[in-house]
Amino acid sequence: MRALASPTRHAVHQVILNQGEASVREIAAQLGRHPASLYKHIDHLEQVGLIEEVGTKATGKRDARVFASVRWWIKYDRNDPELIDALNAYVQAQLRDAGRKIADSFERGAITKGVGRDTHFGSVFGWLTKDELTELNDLLDAISALMTDKPRRPGTRLMATMPVVFPLPMGSRAIEPDPE
C-alpha cells in the first residue's frame, strides 16, 4: 500500500493494469513522461511484488522489458495496524493528488456541464438502508468495470475517477438510525 501512495507509482500500476502488459516506453507514453523518469518507480513496484517482468518486446535498438501486474486487490485486515497505517497513507496521498489534478483541470478549462462533461466533483450525504448501500456499491463496481482494461486507443482520453464512500461519525447529539 505504501508503494502505491506515490501518485507516480499508482499511475504506473494503473497503466499496467489497463494494458495487461506494458514496457517502460509504453507506460511513459501513456503518462506523458520521459521513460527515464519511471525506472525507479517501476523498480520499487517490482521490489514490493505489485508488478513483475514477464518478458521482452523487440524494439528498434534493443529489447524492452515488459511488466504485468501481479495483483491489484490488497487483503484488508482491520486488526493489522501496519496495514491500516499504509492504507491511510495511500488514501490521503491519492486524495491530495486528485485535488491537485481536479484544480488543474478547472484551470485548463474543464467541461463541467452537458454530454461532454470531463470534470465532476460533488459531495453528498445520505441516510442509506442496507439495500440502498448495496445498490450504491453495485454502481461503484459498474464504474470500476467501465474503467478497467481500457488501453490507449484512437479517440480516447485518459480519465480517472475516484469514488470515495465512507460512514460519517455520529456526534453525541445526533439522532441514531432505527435498528433493523
Residues whose CB falls within 8 Å of the CB of residue 147, separated by 6 or more in sequence, listed in order: 159, 161
Global pTM value:
0.70
Question: Is a pLDDT exceeding 70 seen at residue 14?
Answer: yes
Q: What is the CA radius of gyration of the chain?
A: 19
More confident residue, 52 or 77: 52
Residue 179 pLDDT: 56
The model's pLDDT over 139-172, given as tens digits with 9 standing for 90+, comes to: 999 998 898 878 778 998 888 888 888 888 876 5
Place of cell 485548463: 108
Q: Among 23, 80, 90, 99, which residue's Cα sits nearest to residue 54?
A: 23
**What is the average pLDDT value for the chain, to the nearest integer?**
86
